[in-house]
Chains A and B, each alone.
Chain A
Amino acid sequence: MQNPTKLRPFFENIEFQKNDSKMVLNFGPQHPAAHGQLRLVLEVDGEKITKAMPGIGYMHRGMEKMAENMIYNEFMPVTDRIDYTASSANNYGLCAAVEKMCGINVPRRAQIIRTILLELNRIAAHLLFLATHALDIGAMTVFLYCFREREYVLDVIESYCGARLTHNSIKIGGVFLDFSDGWTDELLEVCEKILTGIKDYEDLLNSNRIWLLRTQDVGVVSKEMALSWGCSGVMLRASGVQWDIRKEEPYLIYDELDFDVPYATKGDCYARFKCYIQEMKESVKILRQCVNLYYESEPKILADDPKFVSASKEQIMTQNYSLMQHFVLVTQGLKPPKGEIYLATEANKGELGYYIYSTGDSRPYRLKIRTPSFWHCGIYEDLLPGHYIADVSAIICSTNIILGEVDR
């Protein structure tokens, strides 16, 4: 037993030679595949992992605490920072919860714009996933190609809302802006580019011998395991559970759209990779349909609900009562009804839920964010033992965690 002091600190590997070559290995936080501050303590026997203890770092920004001390609209831009690879999805989650609480009817055009933004975000995040997943396994080319297409997607979002990563483009009651002239043409062009990009990745990876060896039968999440660990999104769908919130509890205009949700039964890294690729294709399908629906819709983009939503800028500048309402909403904030809500949306990584306990005040009494990555991070404890050290980076990356989301 060690007796650590300040001068002789604790060394985990000092037991290595005594204890039958059983070594404690720290995978991360400095490992490039460990996504920022994930600290994975592995107990290895030779190359084989016998025990895994995931530790999430201390990036804890206290978002829930901040939410409790902010009015709803103030908290909106903060939600962007939860999952910074797909910020609109987080943004929409809060919006949807508040709107459902208040009973705000969002105009159709705003809903279509939101759907387009969410799907663009999904593609951008999936591309980032694929890029880093491939890079962690060693496929540098795919990484470069994915970021090429991701840039196109971010460019098109930038030309809509002016921001590339933290968009904050959705607001309670609708969206800030309508599309500018010719934006949809840009979007359709990007759709083409994404599809050609996906073809590139598939050509590179689908029958690549190294890729198959590194991903097939690696990190198998069985159906029972996925259910018990509270997995969602692709983690759940790749394990043979047919559950997509966009299909089962449709929000926005997803019930009108024609798209498929990819499923797999194997539950290994390869199955998840295939699901992600297929989901991107489906997202492109959705985007193309949305463009047509967009032109058929009325030009209104903001809900008409003076109790909760400010009027349009035009009205605020011309009508006294709208100005007064706007002033009250900005200084005091909207006051949703007393009650509690848990609303889940299908973000790119899985189920993103917002639980709001409202006391009828302009600040939530309690706001809990259910982020998928937190739950996918816990599964390492069960998933990693039995695998080899080389598989760890493949498995970690295929679960697609974002530590910003884990720590919130």
Chain B
Amino acid sequence: MRKKLIKDTSTKNYYEDRFYVPLESKKIDVNETIFKDDLASLDDMKIIKSYVEYDQMVVFIEKNDNLKALEKLRDYGYEILTEISGVDFIEKKGGIEVFYQLLSIKHKRRARVKCFVKQGEFLQSVTALYKSADWAERELYDMFGVWIEGHSKLKRILMPDDWYGYPLLKSYPLQGDEHAKWYEVDKIFGREYRDEIGEENRDSAKVDSKDTFNFSRLYHEAEYGAKPPKEPYLQEYQEEGGVPLVKKVKRDKFKILKKRR
């Protein structure tokens, strides 16, 4: 049987507690809180779900209503759009949950408008209402690949223009994908030099003992790839007579194991 393609490449826990039941955050009905009028300002609109969580109102709306809802909330008093971003649910629900974080200086409260954008669907731009959405939507597009309709300059912002893939998707590997591996080689030297230079090392913990360029031997700096020096290192000092239980280490009498036992 063919192996199932795993779309979520994020790190998993080594140990899963089978009987662990996660706690739930407290969600309060909006009409019992100070956010009552805020929600009422969104009249004649389809509200899928709404509640108050951690002192902030959360409203789920239809994807196509985002412009209308934000306009109404802005007129109500939410002057600042502080954040736009998304949460990747492609594997579970086939789309991205986009949220708009709003701040009202007039009423001194915060609200979050959320909508669900299925893959391949367009999201209406809100730059006409808030100018801050200009960059935030570009970031949303850059990181999640959500297409924004009506944005004047929808292009990458954090990543280079010719980058392939959307880094914050769960399917994007933590250390970059096949394209990321070759990106710098292709960019700086050209594609034809791939064999000569080799792929980029993406293991951040890798220490190459022969690499005196990136990991220099202190007090014994040598050019790239030079052989280790014959004379002892400064830090190879050992007490006279040696430490009990440890035999004197002889530099010239060592053996390189071919295989780990």
A66 closest partner in B (C-beta): B174
Closest to A54 in B: B135
* Segment at the interface with B among A19-27, A153-161, A187-195, A337-345: A337-345
Please provide the chain A residues from 196 to 219 with a CB less than 8 Å away from any CB of chain B in the complex: none
B159 engages A370 (CB within 8 Å): no
Do A64 and B168 touch across chains, with their CB atoms under 8 A apart? Answer: yes
Query: B105 contacts A366, CB within 8 Å?
Result: no
Query: Which of A60, A335, A338, A374 meets B25, CB within 8 Å?
Result: A338
Report yes or no: A230 in contact with B112, Cβ–Cβ below 8 A.
no
Contact between A355 and B85 (Cβ–Cβ < 8 Å)?
yes
A69 at the interface (CB under 8 A from B): yes
A344 and B101 alpha carbons, distance in the complex (Å)? 11
Query: In residues 164-223 of chain B, which contact A (Cβ within 8 Å)?
Result: 167-168, 172, 174
Question: Is B246 positioned at the interface, with any CB of A under 8 Å from its CB?
Answer: no
CB < 8 Å A-B pair total: 122
Q: Are A229 and B101 in contact (CB under 8 A)?
A: no
Interface string of B79-111 (1 = CB under 8 A from A): 111110101100000000001010101001010
Q: Which of A56, A331, A355, A382 contacts B158 (CB 8 A)?
A: A56
In the complex with contacts A58-B158, A60-B159, A361-B13, A342-B23 CB distance below 8 A: no
Among A62, A229, A243, A351, the residue within 8 A (CB) of B131 is A229
The reply to whether A338 and B112 contact each other, CB–CB distance below 8 Å, is no
Does B130 reach chain A (CB closer than 8 Å)?
yes
> Closest residue of chain B to A381, judged by CB?
B134
Please state if A340 and B53 are interface contacts (CB–CB under 8 Å): yes
Contact call A227/B85, Cβ cutoff below 8 A: no
Find out whether the CB atom of B79 lies under 8 angstroms from the CB atom of A360.
no
For A60, give the chain B residue with the smallest CB separation: B158
How distant is the Cα of A39 from the Cα of B1 in the complex, in angstroms? 52
In the bound complex, CA of A81 to CA of B121 (Å) = 36
Given contacts A339-B24, A366-B88, A407-B158, contact A229 B83 (CB under 8 A): no
Interface residues as binary, A223-241 with B (CB distance below 8 Å gives 1, 0 otherwise) = 0010111101000000001
A69-B10 in contact (CB<8A): yes
Residue pair B108, A249 in contact (C-beta under 8 Å) = yes
B46 to chain A, nearest CB (A): 22
A337 touches B83 (CB 8 A): no
Q: Is the CB of A375 within 8 A of B135?
A: yes
Query: B160 on the interface (CB 8 Å rule)?
Result: yes
A361 to B23, CA, bound (A): 10
Q: Is the CB of B101 within 8 A of A101?
A: no
Among A100, A248, A365, A378, residue most surrounded by chain B Cβ atoms (within 10 Å) = A378
Q: Is the CB of A370 within 8 A of B13?
A: no
- Per the 8 Å Cβ criterion, residues 316-333 of A in contact with B are 331-332
Question: Which chain A residue has the least Cβ–Cβ distance from B172?
Answer: A65
Contacting pair B132 A230 (CB below 8 A): yes
Indicate which residue in B23, B139, B143 contacts A338 across the interface (CB closer than 8 Å): B23
A68 at the B interface (CB under 8 A): yes
* Chain A residues within an 8 Å CB radius of B136: 230
Contact of A65 among B23, B85, B101, B167 (CB under 8 A): B167
Spell out A's residues near B (CB within 8 Å). 56, 58, 60, 62, 64-66, 68-70, 100-101, 225, 227-230, 232, 241, 243, 248-249, 331-332, 335-344, 351, 353, 355, 357, 359-363, 365-366, 368, 370, 374-375, 377-378, 381-382, 407
Beyond A353-B82, A353-B83, A374-B139, 14 extra complex contacts between A and B, CB < 8 Å: A58-B159, A65-B172, A69-B10, A69-B11, A229-B132, A230-B82, A230-B131, A332-B15, A335-B22, A339-B25, A360-B23, A366-B87, A368-B83, A375-B132
Instruction: Give 20 pairs: A residue, B residue, CB < 8 Å, sorted on A.
Output: A56-B158, A64-B143, A65-B167, A69-B11, A69-B174, A227-B79, A227-B80, A228-B132, A230-B81, A332-B13, A332-B15, A335-B20, A338-B22, A339-B24, A340-B58, A355-B99, A359-B22, A360-B22, A374-B135, A378-B135
Q: Which chain B residues have a beta carbon within 8 Å of chain A's beta carbons? A: 10-11, 13, 15, 20, 22-25, 27, 53-54, 56, 58, 79-83, 85, 87-88, 99, 101, 103, 105, 108, 110, 112, 130-132, 134-136, 139, 143, 157-160, 167-168, 172, 174
Pairs A-B, 6 closest by C-beta atoms: A360-B22, A339-B25, A230-B132, A337-B23, A378-B135, A69-B11
